[in-house]
Amino acid sequence: MIYMDNAATTKMTPAVIQAMLLCMEDIWYNPSSLYAPAQRAAEALRDARVRIAACLNASPDEIIFTSGGSEADNQAILSAARAGAQAGKRHIISTAIEHHAVLHTLEKLEREGYEVELLDVRSDGVISAEQVERAIREDTCLVTVMYANNEIGSIQPISKIGAVCREKGVTFHTDAVQAAGHLPIDVQAQSIGLLSLSAHKFHGPKGIGALYARNGIPMTRLIEGGDQEQGRRAGTENVPAIMAMAAALEEACSHMAENTQKVSALRNRLIMGLSQIPDVVLNGDPENRLPGNVNFSFEGIEGESLVLLLDQYGICASTGSACTAQSLSPSHVLLAIGRSHEAAAGALRLSLSEDNTQADVDEVLRIVPGLVRELRGKRVRNPFQRPL
């Protein structure tokens, strides 16, 4: 089996599984309880918070544990919006290529009377800090721009956007779910006010994530109940998953340079090889993209058909985001970078990790051209479809 869908989720590493198991066996107590064993769980929780904060250059009390990236995005955006409304500010700036956890939250706010402005990205999937600067108004309460895109891998100029927001006094949130553990993050140097991350995108467990919220930014609770997370998120903490997330983030960050080098070399080999197929186009920029992201549109075929055929060869890939894989509507990201509906429907995303090898890449390069020919051939034989 060749797994090339690491943008959808990643495999936990042995060290991460070990950290989680140890916690489940030894310190499974409720960290809010008073007796000594529970205090060891509370101590583990504090330790994980310190380590995760250190990876982001944040302070531990600025870390809120959530159920994942989606919850962190929801809480960040709703918090900034509620605080804005109290000051009479209801204008929000974002981009057309955000994850649905962001876009659907913004749609909800629009129905509540907020004004949401989605900036157009260039054909390489990037917005400029100048675009953000021009869009900021007196009544802007939030700028939310993803760090790196989950479909085409494009990386935004986060430091520059952060600097603009700091200068204008506007809260800046970034969905860093694809970036955390893969690209450098420093919330101080990058002037980030709110940041979302999710453990299962950097070899941690699913169902756990974090929201970094700079001290002084008021938080709205999504979950009411006890006063865990300093009253910002109720519910007994998932200590084993949190310990595993800390281990995964530390492991990813301490090997970031070597992983980036290895994975981007595989990515470039894959891009070079797939570019040889006639009538294909790379989605996103060849250089400014996540180390593991490859996304091509194949003219005249359906991405879904290609993914299903690849599965027969034991190759796990995707058409784009896992969230849109089940729906037939074309990717909003590919439409936003100017692709036609047909090109958007013919997309294949291969997302690599450091577990992949050159042999994996060569196997994919051996198989894909034939499958594309086969699918295109079927299309010509089908009298109801336009021949190529």
Contacts of residue 290, defined as CB under 8 A and 6 or more positions apart, other chains included, come to 7, 148, 149, 153, 155, 178, 179, 182, 183, 351
Shortest spacing between CB 182 and ligand PLP, in angstroms: 11
Shortest spacing between CB 54 and ligand PLP, in angstroms: 21
Contact status, residue 77 vs residue 109, Cβ threshold 8 Å: yes
The alpha-helical segments, DSSP class H, found in 66-207 are 69-86, 100-111, 129-135, 158-168
Nearer to ligand PLP, 13 or 74 (CB): 74
Shortest spacing between CB 198 and ligand PLP, in angstroms: 3
Of 23, 55, 141, 323, which is the active-site residue? 323
Residue 23 is a catalytic residue: no
Nearer to ligand PLP, 142 or 177 (CB): 177
Find how far residue 156's CA is from the centre of its chain: 13
Nearer to ligand PLP, 75 or 191 (CB): 75
Shortest spacing between CB 101 and ligand PLP, in angstroms: 5
Q: 210: part of which helix (H) or strand (E)?
A: strand 209-213
Residues in contact with ligand PLP by the rule CB under 6 A: 68-70, 73, 99, 101, 146, 150, 175, 177-178, 198, 201, 209
- Please give the residue whose beta carbon sits closest to ligand PLP in the complex: 69
Shortest spacing between CB 177 and ligand PLP, in angstroms: 4
Closest CA to 38 of 58, 52, 20, 23: 23
Nearer to ligand PLP, 207 or 273 (CB): 207
- B/e letters for 68-86, b = 16+ CB within 10 Å, e = fewer, are bbbbbbbbbbbbbbebbee
Burial of 381 (0-12, 13-18, 19+ CB in 10 A): exposed
Q: 115: part of which helix (H) or strand (E)?
A: strand 115-119
Residues identified as active-site: 323
